Amino acid sequence: MKPTLAILSLMVVGWMVVGTLYSGALPGAKQQTTCSQGGGVVKVVAAENFWGSLVSQLGGTHVNVLSIVTDPNADPHEYESNAATAQAVADACLVIVNGAGYDSWAQLLTSATANQYQTVLNVQTLLGLPADSNPHFWYSPYYVNETVKGMYHDLVAIDPSDASFYRSQYAALNASLGTYNTKIHEITQRFAGAKVGATEDIFVYLANATKLDLISPPVFMQAVAEGNDPPAPSVVEFEKQVTNRNLTLLVFNQQTVTPLTDSIKALAGQNGIPIVGITETVQPPNAQFQAWMSSELDAILAALAGGAGA
């Protein structure tokens, strides 16, 4: 989602704050500080808590992670930065941003910082994807694996004397992620090709990974994700899919609710189509990424199994 004028205005304020953090240094001046060099703790800021959870597990006791976007009752697309966020970003050794327009506020803050020692991991750039890509990369197990690998390499580069610790943590995290990857494989084995719908394109990557056939109109899902009204023909098409019971499951984004998506959800309920709610950020906020994903996959698996047995 493109940053609004209000967000851009707040970014200017944040930039001004960052410019004064280091003894009156001008924007672009070199900040005289260092990041962890063995025995220290690496300061990490993750724009969202899904990346924050993963880097926290990877870094263990050698990192101090602050995740900015965590509110379960808010739409992450609409987050607006403030002075405290600007300072946290400026102080961090490692900043993890999603990219693809999802967290433009964070990219603006990193571009304004005077901290010459800071490393920025932009997930979209790491994956080599264009800026207009579907930004919900954390719903792709393949992209998650690549991002965790990128985090690992960045932590080793920042804190090389603790490389063996990070190597051990990296192996443990990959093993732990195997649980949710196993559930994805089970859905693929049992329900590949099942026709499903979603109110937003957050589900596209996971549908691809599980080989589910996501048939709801792409323009509808994208419009909702971007905070726009879907074209009328796409609304009619989606409602017809639900009314005709062409779907075995409806996936509903609980953090971008609109009267229209509520209407689609209600229509699905009236027609006996199972509904599974998912979220954009880790819920509950203190849960591990893989536990959150596994819970959602369990719900999807149960709904598909119930529909198949109906």
Q: What is the pTM of this model?
A: 0.88
Please list, residue by residue across 119-146, b when 16 or more beta carbons sit within 10 angstroms of its beta carbon and e when fewer do: bbbbbbebbebeeeebbbbbbbbebbeb
Among 160, 178, 196, give the residue marking a domain's end.
178
The answer to whether residues 104 and 127 belong to one domain is: yes
The answer to whether residues 163 and 185 belong to one domain is: no
pLDDT score recorded for residue 39: 59
Number of domains in the chain: 2
The answer to whether residues 19 and 150 belong to one domain is: yes
64, 54 in Cβ contact below 8 A? no
The answer to whether residues 186 and 131 belong to one domain is: no
The answer to whether residues 81 and 96 belong to one domain is: yes
Q: Is 67 left (phi over 0), alpha (psi -120 to 50) or beta?
A: beta
Range of the domain at 39: 5-178
Residue type, 102: Y
pLDDT score recorded for residue 42: 96
The answer to whether residues 132 and 147 belong to one domain is: yes
DSSP state of 162: G
- From residue 276, how far is each of 26, 181, 205, 303, 310 by CA, in Å? 50, 19, 16, 7, 17
CA nearest to 101, candidates 222, 9, 266, 255: 222
DSSP state of 4: P
The answer to whether residues 41 and 166 belong to one domain is: yes
The answer to whether residues 24 and 156 belong to one domain is: yes
Q: How many CB atoms lie within 10 A of CB 68?
A: 25
Q: How many CB atoms lie within 10 A of CB 161?
A: 12
Strand, coil or helix: what is 45?
A: strand
Residues 240-293 pLDDT 10s: 999 999 999 999 999 889 999 999 999 999 999 999 999 999 999 999 999 999
Residues 135-169 pLDDT 10s: 999 999 999 999 999 999 999 999 999 999 999 99
Q: Is 23 left (phi over 0), alpha (psi -120 to 50) or beta?
A: left
The answer to whether residues 185 and 278 belong to one domain is: yes
Q: Identify the CATH number of the domain in which residue 233 sits.
A: 3.40.50.1980
The answer to whether residues 150 and 277 belong to one domain is: no
Strand, coil or helix: what is 18?
A: helix
The answer to whether residues 146 and 17 belong to one domain is: yes
Positions in the chain whose pLDDT score sits under 70? 1-39, 307-310
Please, which residues bridge with residue 181 across strands? Answer: none
The answer to whether residues 130 and 19 belong to one domain is: yes
Among 134, 150, 178, give the residue marking a domain's end.
178
Kindly give the residue spans of alpha helices, DSSP state H, lying in the chain: 5-19, 49-59, 83-91, 104-112, 123-127, 141-158, 163-191, 204-210, 218-225, 232-243, 259-270, 289-309
